[in-house]
Structure 1
Amino acid sequence: MFQKILIANRGEIALRVLRACKELGIQTVVVHSTADADAMHVRLADESVCIGPPPSRDSYLNIHQIVAACEITGADAVHPGYGFLSENAKFADILAAHNITFIGPSGDHIRIMGDKIEAKRTAKRLGIPVVPGSDGAVTDQKEARRIAAEIGYPVIIKASAGGGGRGMKVALTEADLEVALQTASTEAGAAFGDDAVYIEKYLEKPRHIEVQVFGDGFGRGVHFGERDCSLQRRHQKVWEEASSPALNAEERARIGGICAKAIADLGYSGAGTIEFLYENGEFYFIEMNTRLQVEHPVTEAITGIDLVHEQIRVASGGGLSVKQEDIKFNGHAIECRINAEDPRTFTPSPGTITHFHTPGGLGIRVDSGVYSGYKIPPYYDSLIGKLIVHGRNRVECMMRLRRALDEFVVDGIKTTLPLFRDLVGNADIANGDYDIHWLEKYLAKEE
C-alpha cells in the first residue's frame, strides 16, 4: 500500500479522496492555487503545497509543479480526481518516469479512449455495441453525404477530441449537412486544437446510460451496475440515478457483462465508465471516461463499496477486493449536482457563502468542500456540492430527496437548488419518464 498520496485536484473531489486516504491510514498531500488557500481539503490534509496563482493553467494543470510537489513531499502516488489532469496521458507517463504511481489507467489506455474515433474502433473490437456511423474522421462533403445517406438522417457530427457539447452539430437533412460539418470542424479546432470530426446516427429520444467498470490490470474486470444520467443541460449532467428506471434486471446484466468482459480483455487497470445512448432496448457506445466520475456516489450507495478505496487498492497492486458475484445492488440512489449558478440561466454565481446548512438523516450524504463564510472563487467549475440520497426503492428515494432539498440551505449566492425542488415534484421525473432532451425542453417552457 502507498505511504503518501498527493491529491492533484480541488473542491469536493479532493476532500472525497482525502477522506478515503485517511480511512486507509495513508498520509495525504494536497496541492492548491493561491485562490484555494482556505479550502477545506487544504485545512484537513497532512501537508499542502501551493503550486501557483488562480488560473488552472498555472496551477492545477501545471504538471511540472505537481511533480515537484511529489518530490518535495515524498509522495509515492498521485490521485487526480476528475477533470484537470485526470485524463491526461502525458501526465500519467511523466509520473511513471519519476517512479510515482498514477492512480488510474495507463497512459496508453487514456490515449485510446481520449480519441473518440479510436475509442469507437476499440469498443467495436471488444464487442461493445456502437452507434452506426463513420469508421474514422470525415474529411470532405462528398464522403459525409455518402455516410449520412447510408445510416439515415438525422445525423450528428462530433469532434474526435471533443467533449461537453463543443464541436457537436446535428444535421436533420442533407441540406443541413454542409454547414453542420464546417461548423463542428471549426469549433473542434478552436476548442481542442484538433479539427477532426466524425458522423454518427442521431438518436432522437435516447437516455444516457453509463456502466461503472473496474479492471485489475491483469485480465480481470467487473462492473458495478449502471447509472442513468439523462437529465442534462448543454450536454452537462445535473441529476444522476442508480439504477436506471428504464432498465430491467436482464438488460442490466447483459450490458454489464459486455462491459466487464471488454475491460478484462483490454487489460485495463482502475476505474472507468463506459457511456451509452439507450433507445428502444438497444445500447450504443458514446465514449469511455478513464477516471472516477462526479456521480460515483450513487453507485457506492447501491453497492456499499467505496470506489476510491478500490482505486487505491488496484493502483497499489492489490487487485480487486470483490468478484462479480460479490457485487449486489440494493435500493435506489439519486444525486443532484449543486452548482453556484443561477437556476434558470445557469450563469455562474461566485461570491461568499453566508450560511451553509446541509440536510441529514437516514440515507442522506452530502459531498462538499464549502462552509459558511467560504468565498467561491470565479476561476473554476461551479460545482459546490453533491446531494446523494438512498432509499429502499425509487419511491422512497424520491420522498427522501424532497425532504433533503427542503432542508438544504445555501445563502449569499445563487445555486441550482430551486431547480431540483421543481424537478422532484414533476410527474415525468416521478415516473422516470425522461430522455436526454427532457430538461432543456422543460427549461425552455419555463422561460
Structure 2
Amino acid sequence: MLEDAGLQALREAARLSPDNLPLRRHLAEQLLAKGYLADAEAEFRAALVLAPKDPDITAGLAEAFVRQSAHSAALSVLEPFLATPGYPPRMGVLAARALLGEGDTGRAGHRYHEAVSRDPSVADPELAARLTAPPPPPPAAPAHAAPAYATPADAPSGAEVEKSKQTFADVAGMEAVKESLRVKLLLPIQQPELFAAYGKRAGGGVLLYGPPGAGKTHLARAAAGELGAAFVNVGLADILDMYVGSSERNLRATFDLARRNRPCVLFFDEVDALAARRSDMRQAHTRQLVNQFLAELDGVDQSANEGVLVLAATNAPWYIDVAFRRPGRFDQLVFVPPPDAAARAAILRILCRDKPLAEMDFDAVAKVTDHYVGADLKGLVDRAVEVKLQQSISAGRPIPMTTGDLLAAAQGVRPTAVREWLATARNYVLHANESGAWDELMPWIKGKW
C-alpha cells in the first residue's frame, strides 16, 4: 500500500486512464524515484505494452530490476538495445551495474567506459570505484596442474575448450566436403598474408547440413585438429535455460570463450533449435535468442570474431531463419551427403583397424550397405564384434573377424533415417527452391530418386 498521497492520486488517475502513456510513464518514474521498486516495475511493464520499443521506459524497467538485484532480468530487457550501435548511454551504465552484479567485472568496465565516453553526464563515481578496485586474490591452485584450456567462470555449464586429436586423415571419403572446408575456413588462418592482401579475414561461418549420422560433428572436430586450433563443442544443454535472459547470456559467454582461445573452432550441433525461423516462434524470449545469435555472429566490431571459425550442423536447414544465411554469417552452406560405396569401404577400414582381422573385402560389404551413414556402419561393426567376442570367449583365444561376419551383421542392421530425410529434402529441392539455396542438392536428389 502506497503511503504517499501524491502517488496514490497518480495511480488512481492511471487506473481511470490506462492507455494514457505519459501519465503511466510519469507514475512509474515517480515510484522508482521514491523506492517503490516492485510497483515501479509493474508500471514500467504496463507502459511497455503501450510502447514496446521506448528506450526510456525500457531503461526505467532495467533500473527497477537492477535495484532489486534482478540482474539477469535487467540484462534481458537491455540486450535488444545494446546490440544496436548508438544505444542510449544510460543503458550502458545500467548494463554495467547488472554485469557487475553477476560478477563479470571485465565486461561491466567495458560497458561503463564506453557509455561515459559518449555522455559524461551519466557517470556514476561509486560504480566507477567498484570497477577499478583491485580484484580479490585468486584461490590457491590445487596440487595437480590445470588443463591447458580451462573453462572460465562465465562460460556456460558444460562448454569446454579442448584440443582435437582428429584430422581430415581420420575422415573417410568426403573429399569434396573437406576441400570446401579447407578453402572456406582453414586456409585464411594457415596463409593469413595471402588472404589479407585481398581483404579476407580469418574467421566466418559455415553451415554443414545433411542426413543424421553422416559425420558432420566428426568433420568439425577434424577441422579443428587439422588447424591445431582449440575446439568448443556446444550442445543445446549448454545454451538453453528455463529462465528468461539466461539462454542469451549463455550464448554470449560461449562466443567470448571462443574469442579468448582463438584460433578456435566453435561448433553448434543441432543449430536449428537455436536458429529457427522467428516467424514460427510463439514466444518473444525464443525470438530474442535468435537475435542474440545473429548479434554474436556479427560481433561488436569488424575484428571481434577474427580467428573464430563458427561451424554449425543441422539435419533440417530449411527450418533455419533466413537471416543466418546473410553474408558474414552462415552464408556458406556445405552439403554433407551419405557416404558413397568407396567412402563406406574407407569408413569400415577405419572402424576395424584396431581389431583382429582376417583378409577382408570391405568393398563387398560397402556394396550391400547402400544408404548407410557412418553411425549405421559403426553399429554394424559393433554387432559383428559382439558375435566374434562370444566365439572368442568359447575358444579361449581371439578369433579374427572376417568379411562374412560383417555381411552377416549387415542383414540385421538397417539404415536409420536417410530415406526419410531424402523424401523431405526432395520436397524442398523440387517445390520450395525459389531462392536457389538448395541447388547443390538438386543433382544428388535426382540421382537417388
TM-score normalised over the length of structure 2? 0.25
Larger Rg: 2
* Structure of higher RCO (CA pairs closer than 8 Å, 6+ residues apart): 1
Higher strand share: 1
